[in-house]
Amino acid sequence: MDNSGRRTFLGVCLGGLAAAVTAAATWPVYRYLAPRSTATTAARVEIPEKDVPEGEAKFFDFGGASAVLVRKPGGGLIALSAVCTHMGCIVQWEKDTQDFLCPCHGGHYTADGGVISGPPPKSLAKLPFIVANGIITIG
């Protein structure tokens, strides 16, 4: 093999390698920015009542986003979006204080989703639900 053949071969190999590296680097970015498929996002979620004890919260995926079901002291239920209204972080349930905390910028929400303090501009969105035969159906 002469030098021009080697150069062509190395050029093709390096071009293929560059294309593979580019594809490997851009695929995660594309998957992050692309909308979720509607086939994989639930429009209705069923949770057994026994899975949400008093004073506890159960997080789940609803419509492609994080949501939470809370059984308040006294037994009342509420279903909320778990996405902070400030920057879109996922809120965390604080069992000892019975409220939500956004770990990104310190926003606090009541168990009903109302803003207590911090930068969130509005309350967490409420989700419709029904309870029948021991099953909580959200959506």
Q: What is the reported pLDDT for 30? A: 73
Of residues 92 and 3, more confidence is placed in 92
The 10s digit of each residue's pLDDT in 94-104 is 999 999 999 99
- Phi, psi of 53, deg, nearest 5: -70, 165
For the domain made up of 45-138, give the CATH fold: Rieske Iron-sulfur Protein (2.102.10)
**How far apart are the C-alpha atoms of 91 and 73, rounded to whole Å?**
20
Reference 63, options 40, 46, 97; nearest CA is 40
Work out the pLDDT band at 47, boundaries 50, 70, 90. very high
* Angle of CA points 29, 22, 27, to nearest 5°: 30
- Per-domain boundaries in the chain: 1-34, 45-138
Tell whether the model's pLDDT for residue 129 goes beyond 60.
yes
pTM > 0.85: yes or no? no
**How far apart are the C-alpha atoms of 70 and 97, rounded to whole Å?**
13
Tell whether the model's pLDDT for residue 37 goes beyond 90.
no
Provide the percentage of residues in the chain whose pLDDT is more than 70.
Answer: 91
Residue 90 contacts residue 84 (beta carbons within 8 Å): yes
Q: Which residues contact 17 (CB under 8 A, 6 or more apart)?
A: none
**Mean pLDDT confidence for 10-39:** 80
